[in-house]
Amino acid sequence: MSIAAIGGYLVNEPSDAEFAHVGRTLVSSAHPQPAPHRMTPGPRPRVSLVTVTFNAAGFISPFCEAVSRLSYPALEVLIVDNASHDGTAAVLRRALPRATVIEARRNGGFAAGCNLGAAAASGDVLFFLNPDTRPPPEAVEPLCRPVFERRDVGAAGCKLVYPDGRLQSAGGVIGEHGFCRHRGQGEHDRGQYDSEAVVDYVPGAALAIRRGVFRELGGFHEGYFPGFYEDVELCVRLRRRGYRVLCVAAPTIEHLENQSIGPTLPYSVRRNRMLFLARNADPEHPYRALGREASRLYRAHVRPLLAALLGAHPWKLRDAWRDWRPAMPGDLAGFALALLAARRTGPHGAPGPDRSRILCSPAAPDGQDR
């Protein structure tokens, strides 16, 4: 599940200028950019397109129409319906009669649905695609061929755009405190991201990975419910094993984004960011990042309330409470989960020699989040 538009839900989010600096450092220094790669004729990989739906009957038709027009010949389509109660599975079977529709017994979230679809897939390459995307007919080959032909490439994504044509993502960078930012988000697409680039991660809204590599990694981590950050962590695990993550030059896919998440979005983003932070912190100092996060939470939530109370300004207290109320539950829940994760490393979070360097860059000198 993509996290391309979560900025408005994050408290004390890094400024654009600060993140631009981090992004340049991570992308240009940590990831040497590849030489242009020309596709040569060769055997086509068999591709399994995997989509996860939940109560999507009202908006799934344009996606089905786009998938039916995909021109790639060696393609199987698997759609996992996460226990919808609006007839989504029936709509899918009518619109895509050749697709395999798997009805999950319960809604285990985006990651669990993807893993279920991947387990049933037979292709060489898995192409995870959100149900609120509109892929062009030629989308499959330029996205999936690189991960099949190039053994150093672990995953590939592409440019995602909003319906009005503005850029949503051209791959992403990971900053301090686990904040993620997409390259080019909100910019007009003038071709500035039309060359292949090595990035920190690519969104799960359109992500290609070899099936064997996905299985070797154990799939998406299903703790990131209902979605968000499972794609980021998958890419971190790939890079930890020496693979590169690419944003390829083509295709460009329209993405409506977060169509079926609903009102839990702010809570889920905060919770999962902190879970990601704890699972990928320096294993020798698992609480160091959480200490910095506790300081950030104090600045974001406690200090404004204390200042308003001590200043005896009712309107300031009202404003502080208004800002605090929607944000704090997710932050607190995430912090509690992060503490547990720091104490008990899961199977996908096994320590690696370059773990902390992969996650984030050093803190800014002024102590502000990036």
pLDDT tens digit sequence for 108-129:
999 999 999 999 999 999 999 9
266 near 9, Cβ under 8 Å? yes
The residue behind tokens 């408005």 is 8
Least confident of 193-197, 253-257, 324-328: 324-328
**Tokens, residue 367:** 């102590």
- What is the average pLDDT score of the chain? 77
CA distance 67 to 140: 10
The residue behind tokens 């039916």 is 68
Q: What pLDDT shows up at residue 334?
A: 57
User: Hey, how many other C-beta atoms are within 10 angstroms of the C-beta on 103?
Assistant: 13
Its pTM stands at 0.75
Q: How much is the average pLDDT of 21-30?
A: 37
pLDDT bin (cut points 50, 70, 90) of residue 226 is confident
- Closest to 220 (Cα-Cα) out of 231, 208, 211, 228: 231
pLDDT tens per residue across span 247-264: 999 999 999 976 545 545
CA distance 208 to 185: 21
Residue 169, H or E segment = strand 167-169
CA distance 51 to 116: 10
pLDDT tens per residue across span 145-182: 999 999 999 999 999 999 999 999 999 998 766 778 89
Q: What pLDDT shows up at residue 277?
A: 78
- Closest to 360 (Cα-Cα) out of 303, 293, 298, 264: 293
Q: Which residue has the higher pLDDT, 6 or 62?
A: 62
Contact residues for 86 (Cβ-Cβ < 8 A; gap 6+): 55, 56, 57, 58
Radius of gyration of the chain (CA): 21
Least confident of 19-33, 165-179, 354-368: 354-368
Q: How much is the average pLDDT of 308-328?
A: 57
Tell me the sheet residues that pair with 100.
Answer: 78
